[in-house]
Chain A
Amino acid sequence: MLISHNYKSLFAPIIVLLVGGALFLLGLYPDISMILGGIALFLIGMEYMEGGFKAFSGGLLENVLEKFTNNTPKAITTGFLATALVQSSSLISIIVISFLSAELITLTSAVGVIFGSNIGTTTTAWLVSVFGLKIKISVYAMPMIIMGIFIPLFLKENSWKGIASIFIGLGIVFLGIGYMKEGFETLKDGIDLAQYAMGGYAGIFVYVLVGSVATVAIQSSSASMAIIITALATGQIDYANALALAIGANIGTTVTAVLGSLKSNENGKRLAVAHFIFNITTGIIAIVFIYQLAELVDYLALFVGIGIENYTMKLALFHTIFNIIGVLAVSPFISVLVKFLNTLFIPKGTDKGKPKYLDNAVLALPSTALSAIVMETKHLYENAFDIITHGLNLKKSNLLSSMELDEVIRDLDTHKSINIDLFYNRWIKGLYGEIIDFSTKAQVNMSPEYIEELYKLKLANRDIVEAVKDTKHLQKNLLKYTSARNEHIKEQYNDIRKGLAELLRNINTIATTDEEDVIILLLSKAKIHMQRYDIITNGTLDKLIRKGLITNQMATSLMNDSDYAHSISKNLIAMAEVLFIEIGSDLKKLHEDMSISDEDVDNMLEKKG
């Protein structure tokens, strides 16, 4: 079930409809009212469990999904295990879509996870048939809910709150199953749905359709499976029709997936298409070979010790088997599928000022939200890099090449000034605002360690913005004096350009290398070279004025602009230290101890002098 924002926005109306229906039918049909109430409880319980796992896993789930998906079999297995554990394929889908957006995993891996997740979602049927129907709700469900309510009163940590939500969720799910079962049992005394059983392929098609429509209506294949299993357990439907209903639930969930992806980004849409193709293919295979599959289930049921009359567990087994067969049938074509998916939903031109990685769906997932903020901050820096480069009258292509810096300085980008304000408003201001807004929202669900990292990232964003603003101030005189007749002032301003060009080039190397010693060396160098802008202390200004090489007006401008250059360097170095040293890496842990201090810089300059 690839569910995104739409499902979340439909959740409340579905619950209201179910509860409203239950209340309306309470007098006339108490049994149907009980079933509707049971479905509502089941959905609420699943929602609680999902929220609980988000809070409990605290980034672990995201780390596992990021690290163990580098090939298709691994991705399928991880998707299966993760979904089976958290009982929510929608949660897994949200994480996968955000990873795709953040370019943390490939589309092939993401498709693999979704396939695995489809098998993982069949464990709900096992949970219902093995435990849900057998557990006496009054014995287990209520204590679970009560425990879930009491835990947060004593244990305040987020992970305990998560465990509490899982307990409450599980308790409510069992309660819901109990009500559904009771409702179907009572209903049997009045209306026997089994009389509508249909045989042959006509029956299969009708029940596949019923299963699909029911799943579309309640927007959850897990809830559909719970209804089918409880109805089967109470004898309201026969086994053959239950199999068709299960296939229908699988097909119906694709509509939910497509609906869910409508508001999603292009990655979400591509995954929804992959999911749609997978479920439809699986559904067709299951319908065509339904009798052979039923025989296979009978054979395997005996093999694993499921009684021949235990239809609910056989249904769960059928559900798992046909999803596994689907994965086996479609997996060999994943590369073809991915090629096809990559041709879909290609955005028409990109707006550099719009966020690329921020997705509200990941706000509740601290690690993923942090990754998204890191990626978006890098995006902000890319924009800033372009503006600063133009502002310094440098060509980006030269800067990113191995061209000598003196040549880079000579090869001017333009002879006119660019309107930095315009580019700031287009590429920086809005994006910066979005990052800060997203960070503030994400912070609510974060642990103190994550909040500390987030705080540093917010500062890095501010540093980038300040660097762009300072470039704007610097640009005015820079253009004027680099084309001046006075060679001395020209040299000073070209030295500023060269210094900043060197810094931008070094930051680019830092951003692209994995060599820790290179990163440390370049950051240290940048800190030392920054002192070139302290023209009062290093005597440059004194010398120029004393010898009458520049006018007083030039001296004032140079003093101010050196300050701007110093500030740009300081901000960009601080930003690079946060943004381009990977969170959790060895270097991140060491950098604070190893980075050179202002005192070290002074000492080195003294020695030099």
Chain B
Amino acid sequence: MGIKKFIESVKESLNLDECEKIGKKKSIKRLMEKLRSRKDILDKVPKKKLDKKEKKELKEELAIISLQIKKGVKILEELN
């Protein structure tokens, strides 16, 4: 038996693939937590006080964060 096959069978018997999935899920959740808290902060920014350029930047940042969160949710669904 080659080392790779041996490692695969050990992974299978110890259910290590599941561990990998759990690790990935944890990483995504942690990242999404950070993105969500950033979004919360940006949502609370008083828009009236911003000039046109700042408003544009804020809008863009919020759009990116929302897209990333959406992607994260999709990956989590696939992993479940």
Contact check, A520 vs B31: say whether CB atoms are below 8 A apart. yes
List of A residues within 8 angstroms of B30 by Cβ: 516, 586
Question: A306–B71 Cα gap in the complex (Å)?
Answer: 66
List of B residues within 8 angstroms of A517 by Cβ: 31, 34-35, 38
Tell whether A511 is near chain B: CB-to-CB under 8 Å.
no
Contact check, B2 vs A156: say whether CB atoms are below 8 A apart. yes
Nearest B residue to A154 by beta-carbon distance? B2
Question: A175–B43 Cα gap in the complex (Å)?
Answer: 75
Question: A156–B3 Cα gap in the complex (Å)?
Answer: 9
* Of B3, B28, B35, B72, the contact of A155 (CB 8 Å cutoff): B3
Question: A515–B34 Cα gap in the complex (Å)?
Answer: 9
Tell whether B50 is near chain A: CB-to-CB under 8 Å.
no
- Nearest CB on A from B34, distance (A): 4
* Of B2, B31, B38, the contact of A594 (CB 8 Å cutoff): B31
Question: A516–B28 Cα gap in the complex (Å)?
Answer: 10
Tell whether B64 is near chain A: CB-to-CB under 8 Å.
yes
Which stretch (A5-13, A181-189, A347-355, A521-529) binds chain B? A521-529
List of B residues within 8 angstroms of A528 by Cβ: 60, 64
List of A residues within 8 angstroms of B31 by Cβ: 516-517, 520, 586-587, 590, 594
Contact check, B68 vs A157: say whether CB atoms are below 8 A apart. no
Tell whether B49 is near chain A: CB-to-CB under 8 Å.
no
* Of A157, A524, A590, the contact of B24 (CB 8 Å cutoff): A590
Is chain A's binding surface mostly helix, strand, loop or mixed? helix
Nearest A residue to B33 by beta-carbon distance? A517
Tell whether B65 is near chain A: CB-to-CB under 8 Å.
yes
List of B residues within 8 angstroms of A525 by Cβ: 60-61, 64
Interface size of A as a range: 20 to 34
List of A residues within 8 angstroms of B34 by Cβ: 515-517
Contact check, B38 vs A589: say whether CB atoms are below 8 A apart. no
Question: A425–B42 Cα gap in the complex (Å)?
Answer: 46
Contact check, A524 vs B27: say whether CB atoms are below 8 A apart. no
Within 8 A of B (CB), among A563-587: 586-587
Contact check, B72 vs A594: say whether CB atoms are below 8 A apart. yes
Tell whether B16 is near chain A: CB-to-CB under 8 Å.
no
Q: Return the CB mask of B21-37 against A: 1 if under 8 Å, else 0.
A: 00010011011001100
Tell whether A280 is near chain B: CB-to-CB under 8 Å.
no
Question: A521–B68 Cα gap in the complex (Å)?
Answer: 9
Contact check, B75 vs A593: say whether CB atoms are below 8 A apart. yes
List of B residues within 8 angstroms of A594 by Cβ: 31, 68, 71-72, 75
List of A residues within 8 angstroms of B19 by Cβ: none
Nearest A residue to B28 by beta-carbon distance? A590
Nearest A residue to B64 by beta-carbon distance? A524
Contact check, A521 vs B64: say whether CB atoms are below 8 A apart. yes
- Nearest CB on A from B6, distance (A): 10
Contact check, A159 vs B68: say whether CB atoms are below 8 A apart. no
Contact check, A586 vs B64: say whether CB atoms are below 8 A apart. no
List of A residues within 8 angstroms of B48 by Cβ: none
Q: Return the CB mask of B63-74 against A: 1 if under 8 Å, else 0.
A: 111011001100
Tell whether B4 is near chain A: CB-to-CB under 8 Å.
yes
* Of B4, B61, B71, the contact of A157 (CB 8 Å cutoff): B4
Tell whether A160 is near chain B: CB-to-CB under 8 Å.
yes
Tell whether A604 is near chain B: CB-to-CB under 8 Å.
yes
Tell whether A210 is near chain B: CB-to-CB under 8 Å.
no
Q: Return the CB mask of A169-211 against B: 1 if under 8 Å, else 0.
A: 0000000000000000000000000000000000000000000
Contact check, A586 vs B27: say whether CB atoms are below 8 A apart. yes
Tell whether A415 is near chain B: CB-to-CB under 8 Å.
no
24 residue pairs A–B, Cβ–Cβ below 8 Å: A155-B2, A156-B2, A157-B4, A160-B2, A160-B3, A517-B38, A520-B35, A521-B38, A521-B61, A521-B64, A521-B65, A524-B67, A528-B64, A586-B31, A589-B24, A589-B27, A593-B71, A594-B71, A596-B64, A596-B68, A600-B67, A604-B63, A604-B64, A608-B60
Considering the complex of A and B, which 4 residue pairs feature the smallest CB-CB distances, nearest first? A586-B27, A517-B34, A524-B64, A157-B3
Contacts A520-B31, A586-B30 known; list 14 others, CB within 8 Å: A156-B2, A160-B2, A515-B34, A516-B30, A516-B31, A517-B34, A520-B68, A524-B67, A528-B60, A590-B75, A594-B71, A596-B68, A604-B60, A607-B63
